[in-house]
Amino acid sequence: MPTVAAVGFDILNRGVSAMDVTLDIHRIGGAVIDNLRLKPREAALVVPGISVLRCDLPEEAAAQMRTAFSHATDLHEAAQTVASTSEELILAAGFDIIHMPSRTLPNHYRIIHPDGVTGFGDENLAKLAAAFTTTTGH
Amino acid sequence: MTSQTARLLDPSRAVVAVVTVTDETDRFGGTIDLSSTPPTIRAVFDEFEEIVNGQMFSFLDEVEAKVAALGLIAEFPDGTTAPVADLQVYPTAGEVSFRAAVAVG
């Protein structure tokens, strides 16, 4: 399981520094703000949030997409790029994460914000994006 | 691997789509022709595609239940029929996969 030594990493001056975090939370498609933005339907959830997968490696998340949705060609293309982070870094960015297992994806989680939809503004999303490490070629 | 053309039928045995699929060991997969698909069923397929490709997995159980509730049946060229399970349709890409409890040679 990959870790990142987050020495000096201080996205909100909240003391997220000099610690090792495990990047076991993954968002298909990378950490650009547009990929972290709530879609209208997600914004209408009782607890608004975006989907992520929790597993050891980004390539596992990509492989899970290819296996679970074997003919979702657009998703497969997106899964070549995966953004990875940790629960600690999500919390430090001002967001939170909850486990929302589904039948097909038991390791499905949702990134949420204490302020709900308004918490997903661009300023906060920039902080969230900074909490991710993006890898490609999966 | 040999591809076969099968028909997807609704519970009243009306044809709702034609698929050209191969046996991918644990499921059938290939392409789908939705030209005969009723709008109400097409809407469910569109929603499924939107949820999956949009990574809106908070709605996955819900949309999978809608697809299952269609109660579709696969009819293969030899006349064999079988209930379809785990049907995944991507109208934009024209792709399909499903499980069916029949052996296709």
Quick: pLDDT tens for B19-61. 999 999 889 999 999 999 999 999 999 999 999 999 999 999 9
User: Residue B6: which of B103, B75, B86 has the closest Cα?
Assistant: B75
Alpha-carbon distance A2 to nearest alpha carbon in chain B (angstroms): 24
> Using 50, 70 and 90 to split pLDDT, how confident is the model at B1?
low
Q: Tell me the C-alpha distance between A52 and A39, whole Å.
A: 14
The enclosing H or E element of A58 equals helix A58-68
Place of tokens 């070629």: A137
Q: Which of residues 61-90 of A touch B (CB under 8 A)?
A: 69-75, 78
Q: How far is residue A83 CA from its own chain's centroid?
A: 6
State the complex-level ipTM: 0.91
Partner residues linked to A26 by β-bridges = A53, A84
Give me the residue from B49, B57, B88 closest to A51, CB to CB. Answer: B57
Cα distances from A11 to residues A17, A88, A94, A132, in angstroms, run 9, 12, 10, 11
- Domain of B21, CATH number, reads 2.40.10
The enclosing H or E element of A83 equals strand A81-85
> Averaged over B67-72, what is the pLDDT?
97
pLDDT digit string (tens) for B93-105?
A: 999 999 997 644 4
In a domain, B23, yes or no: yes
By C-alpha distance, the chain A residue nearest B29 is A71
Longest dimension (CA), chain B: 39
3-state secondary structure of A20: strand
Alpha-carbon distance A36 to nearest alpha carbon in chain B (angstroms): 10
In a domain, B69, yes or no: yes
Mean pLDDT by 10 residues, chain A (138 residues): 47 51 95 97 98 97 97 97 97 98 98 98 98 96
> Averaged over B65-92, what is the pLDDT?
96
- Please state the domain count of chain B: 1
> Averaged over B67-91, what is the pLDDT?
96
Q: Do B56 and A104 touch (CB under 8 A)?
A: no
Give me the residue from B56, B88, B93 closest to A42, CB to CB. Answer: B56
> Averaged over B67-74, what is the pLDDT?
97
Q: To 10 degrees, what angle do helices B39-53 and B60-69 make? A: 150
Which pLDDT belongs to residue A1?
54
In a domain, B105, yes or no: no
- How much is the pTM? 0.90
By C-alpha distance, the chain A residue nearest B53 is A75
Q: Tell me the C-alpha distance between A24 and A39, whole Å.
A: 23
Q: Which of residues 83-122 of A touch B (CB under 8 A)?
A: 100, 102-105, 108, 110
Q: Do A41 and B57 touch (CB under 8 A)?
A: no
Q: Do A103 and B60 touch (CB under 8 A)?
A: yes
Residue B57 belongs to what domain range?
A: 3-100
